[in-house]
Structure 1
Amino acid sequence: MHLLGVGKESIIMVYLLGVLFTSVLTGSYKWGILHSFTSLMILNFLFTEPRFTFIIYSSNDIILLVFFLITAVVSGTVTSKLQKQIEISERNEATTKILYQTASGFLPVSGKKSIIHQGMIFIKEFAGFDSAVCLEEDATYCFEAPKNEHSYLSYPIESNQLRLGELRIFNENRQPDPQSELIVQAVATQLAIALDREHLYMEREEIRIAMEREHLRSTLLRSVAHDLRTPLTGLSGAANLLADNYETLSYEERQKLAMDMSEEIIWLTNLVENILNMTRISDAQLLLHKEEEVIDDIVSQALSHISRLLKDRPFTVHLPDEVVMVQADGKLLVQVLINLLENAIRHTDPNSSISLEVVKMDHTLKISVCDTGSGIDPNIKTKIFEKFVTLDRSISDGKRGIGLGLAICKAIVDAHGGTIVARDNEPAGTCMILTLPLEDQIWNEK
């Protein structure tokens, strides 16, 4: 250094840099202070006169060394504290990210068990502890608690001053650090918020279902009361007319009144049958009693129930030339055809034609009921198979009906593993097309 002409002032800067590097690399101001004293002694030993001794003659060197010591201690302490603040900021940033992930991680989760499982995952991932959630509403049942584990820390899960349960951290005789403690408390808070939100959602859903049931019940009662009034009034009038004027009425008039009464009774019978079937469907009690049925017999039974409604209307039936067997509940399948044919009759003029066609395909049986009426109203086309959908009430059974026929048809066909759709009939009218799996397909699937 002397040969290069470097003075003590420049050499001091080298040692100051050493102090700074020591404080930064070690992360402790104590090492920086120790390095300051060490540098002072080395500087005194090597670069002050007399050299290679710890004796100082010059007062300038003493002042220079004192200032060096003060500068080294201050700069080392400031650098070390700055380094500490950087480390604290980094830890706080990491903790903030964890808390954000925890808060946002509960948002898409629904269901009590899923929420609790998500909280336990966060505890394990971010804090490193096994945990369990004990809810008081479940008789203090703990979800996924380790067996024979007695050492744990408890954190309350509270929402709006209401205690929902507790979060247990199995610490295995080690205490969580402040960061882990903060994470656990945050998870407990988020658990309370999520569980409270789930409870409110379930209450709202129960209220919605209850309101929907009440609405359906009111609609059913209103529709039944409305539709029973007309046929009962007709039956009462016809019966009174026959009773009071039986002798004066001609044979044709008595026959006409009797046929009218028969039609109303048939309609009432089908109405009651549809209501009973819909009740079973709504209560999930629609049981199928499948047997091998001949499709010709099913069609014949359906036609016998509505023969009087057809009267002189143009009506055609096309059946396969061969005997076709289908695995089905014959009584329910007959009800489907009756509902479809009644819909076609009510939606068309007396002179409009109706056809029923049965076609055997490779593995399915296709049954089509087509009419030449005005077609499906666009307002109800997308919801024609829903309950209580009728034309005249904007809520498709026809001009008189409670809107259950097609809904029942869909439920019965779906229960048989088939499909039912509504198509436009060219050039005019509507076709209701249902398909059923044939018995050979069923046996192949088995």
Structure 2
Amino acid sequence: VDCDWSSDVCSSDLVLVKTISPWRYPLLTGKQKDILKMIQNGIIVGGFDTLKNAVKTVSIMVLVTVLSIFTGRMGVENESIIMIFLLGVLFTAVLTSSRRWAICAALLCALLFNFLFTRPLYSFLIYGTNDLMLLVFFLITGIVSGTITSRLQNEMRLAGQNEHTARILYRIASGFLSASGRENVVKKAELLLKEYTQLGGTIHLDLKESGKGFEINGGNGTLGILEIRDGEPDNSQLLIVNAICRQLGIALERERLVADREKIRLAMEREQQRSIFLRSVAHDLRSPLTAISGAGNLLADSYDILSESERRKLAVDISEEIVWLTGLVENILSMTRISAKKLVLHKQDEVIDDVVGEAVKQTERLLRNRHFEVKLPDDVVTVPMDGKLIAQVMINLLENAARYTPPDSAISLTVEVGQHLTVSVADTGEGIPDAIRSRLFERYVTQEKEIVDGHKGLGLGLSICKAIVEAHGGQISVMDNVPKGSVFTFTLPMEENL
């Protein structure tokens, strides 16, 4: 199934399309509703039901006739024998699906009683007034009691049908409630249609071919048409098809609203992130630029009166701020390439010692007041990688460790070789709060702690690390250090994946 809210077509065994003027009919027309009601009340029955009711009626007539003849030969009076025929009328009303069979049974019983038990015997003539009155009252009583019994029976049958229909409708509604996602909703509609209507063949929507379509309506009009190509629902299945189409329309409308709400949420989130990013850029650019401007102005205005060591210190400060700005711009450019999916790897075999050395050199200013230790393999190790990007990963991790640890803290960078190259940066700071641990590698996520060097950062470093490492086919993770602090670890394949 291939479903997309931005597309007009969802292809499946059950396919929804937007339509202009297809040949269609409403879910249940007035005439179809009347027919369905007549079926439920037993007014309209099929040929098989008619034959079955006729067999039941004839069987009951034969049974009560035999029983009446037997009791008549025992000397039972006609007034008692006629009660046996009345019992046959009641049984017919109970066992058949329409009151017309009870009326037919009453007429047949009256004729049989007249033929077999009134004088002259074996004739339909009636000479006695008492016999005539008895037959008239029997006929009236039989028709009335049979009609009442049949009506009660039909009401009980209809109540059972309504209960069964209500259970089916409830299951259909519950089935759609448990489905989420447009694709799953369409699949659920197909399964429910097959389960409760037993329609054979493929369910498909194709307006270019003839067929009867059922409208699928939503809050803003018709969402599509459900066309059953192989087979056609009979009158007893129309109610179920109606319910499925109605619930499908509600579910599709719900999914559309959910998708729209998600788009709005994502748009608001992107706008919020953009605002945070711009504020962070303004803040992080202002601080080093102010320092560079101040140091430069001081050198220009007081160059002659400053000592050599003071001039050198100002120059070093300017250089360090420029290095920091360069790293910031590199991160911004990297994230731009990652967002545009234009991150290109220039892989070649790199000596891991050289890559680590470059990263340590770039972060020397931040690590000067830390107990920093590097642990490298004894042998020379070469790994296929983009050396510049992997060095940037190490720089970001080391800068992150330095910013969130106080002076004289211990920071270490460890490289281990096994099935993969494993690089770990450990610190002894306060660790990662649980509130942001799961989002730590997302963009614009930063820790709300005091920053040692005054540069808060944009919250891009770790997300860039994750993108670069995964582009190399590796993984990156964070765990707690013992006794305190954090350990960031990433792995790289030792061989190029072909």
Q: Same fold (TM over 0.5)?
A: yes
Q: 2:429 & 2:311 partners in 1: Cα distance?
A: 32
Q: Is the 8 A contact 1:397 1:403 kept in 2?
A: no
Stretches of structure 1 lacking an aligned partner (at least 5 in a row): 133-142
TM-score, normalized by length of structure 2? 0.75
Q: Which moved more, 1:92-101 or 1:208-217?
A: 92-101
Q: Assess, with a 3 A threshold, how the Cα gap between structure 1 residues 86 and 289 changes in structure 2: closer, same or farther.
A: farther
Matching residue of 1:138: none
Q: Which moved more, 1:304-313 or 1:229-238?
A: 304-313
Matching residue of 2:472: 416
Q: Is the 8 A contact 2:115 2:124 kept in 1?
A: yes
2:87 corresponds to which of 17, 22, 26: 17
Q: Assess, with a 3 A threshold, how the Cα gap between structure 1 residues 171 and 382 changes in structure 2: closer, same or farther.
A: closer
User: Displacement of 1:369 after TM fit?
Assistant: 1.8
Q: Assess, with a 3 A threshold, how the Cα gap between structure 1 residues 348 and 163 changes in structure 2: closer, same or farther.
A: closer
User: Displacement of 1:425 after TM fit?
Assistant: 3.4
Q: 1:123 & 1:24 partners in 2: Cα distance?
A: 34
Q: 1:91 & 1:408 partners in 2: Cα distance?
A: 64
Tell whether 2:328 aligns with 1:328.
Answer: no
Counterpart mapping for 1:353-372 below 5 A: 353-361=410-418, 363-372=419-428
Matching residue of 1:246: 303
TM-score, normalized by length of structure 1? 0.83
Q: Is the 8 A contact 2:72 2:81 kept in 1?
A: no
Counterpart mapping for 1:278-427 below 5 A: 278-311=335-368, 313-361=370-418, 363-376=419-432, 380-392=436-448, 400-427=456-483
Q: 1:56 & 1:438 partners in 2: Cα distance?
A: 114
Counterpart mapping for 1:151-166 below 5 A: 152-160=211-219, 162-166=221-225
User: Displacement of 1:157 after TM fit?
Assistant: 3.8
Encode CA deviations 1:182-223: one digit per residue, 9 max, x unaligned: 344433433332332222222211111111110111000001
Q: Is the 8 A contact 2:205 2:225 kept in 1?
A: no
User: Displacement of 1:389 after TM fit?
Assistant: 2.9
Matching residue of 2:277: 220
Q: Which moved more, 1:30-39 or 1:216-225?
A: 30-39
Q: Which moved more, 1:205-214 or 1:303-312?
A: 303-312
Q: Is the 8 A contact 1:129 1:170 kept in 2?
A: no
Tell whether 2:209 aligns with 1:149.
Answer: yes
Amino acid at match of 1:69: L
Q: Which moved more, 1:242-251 or 1:49-58?
A: 49-58
Q: Assess, with a 3 A threshold, how the Cα gap between structure 1 residues 331 and 16 changes in structure 2: closer, same or farther.
A: same
1:92 corresponds to which of 162, 166, 182: 162
User: Displacement of 1:11 after TM fit?
Assistant: 1.7
Matching residue of 2:57: none
SS of 2:363's equivalent?
Answer: helix
Q: Is the 8 A contact 2:406 2:452 kept in 1?
A: no
1:77 corresponds to which of 147, 168, 183: 147
Counterpart mapping for 1:46-57 below 5 A: 46-57=116-127
Q: Assess, with a 3 A threshold, how the Cα gap between structure 1 residues 96 and 371 changes in structure 2: closer, same or farther.
A: closer
User: Displacement of 1:57 after TM fit?
Assistant: 4.4
Measured on the aligned residues, the alpha-carbon RMSD in Å equals: 3.3
User: Displacement of 1:224 after TM fit?
Assistant: 0.8
Q: Is the 8 A contact 1:115 1:191 kept in 2?
A: yes
SS of 2:115's equivalent?
Answer: helix
Encode CA deviations 1:350-378: one digit per residue, 9 max, x unaligned: 433332221113x1222222234444456
User: Displacement of 1:300 after TM fit?
Assistant: 1.7
Q: Assess, with a 3 A threshold, how the Cα gap between structure 1 residues 170 and 394 changes in structure 2: closer, same or farther.
A: farther
SS of 1:106's equivalent?
Answer: helix
Tell whether 2:255 aligns with 1:198.
Answer: yes
Q: 1:348 & 1:2 partners in 2: Cα distance?
A: 113
Encode CA deviations 1:110-159: one digit per residue, 9 max, x unaligned: 44454445445544554566899xxxxxxxxxx93359732x23444444
Tell whether 2:322 aligns with 1:265.
Answer: yes
Q: Assess, with a 3 A threshold, how the Cα gap between structure 1 residues 397 and 292 changes in structure 2: closer, same or farther.
A: farther
User: Displacement of 1:428 after TM fit?
Assistant: 4.4
Q: 2:94 & 2:479 partners in 1: Cα distance?
A: 81
Q: Is the 8 A contact 2:444 2:460 kept in 1?
A: yes
Q: Is the 8 A contact 1:397 1:404 kept in 2?
A: no
What is the number of residues matched between the two proteins? 428
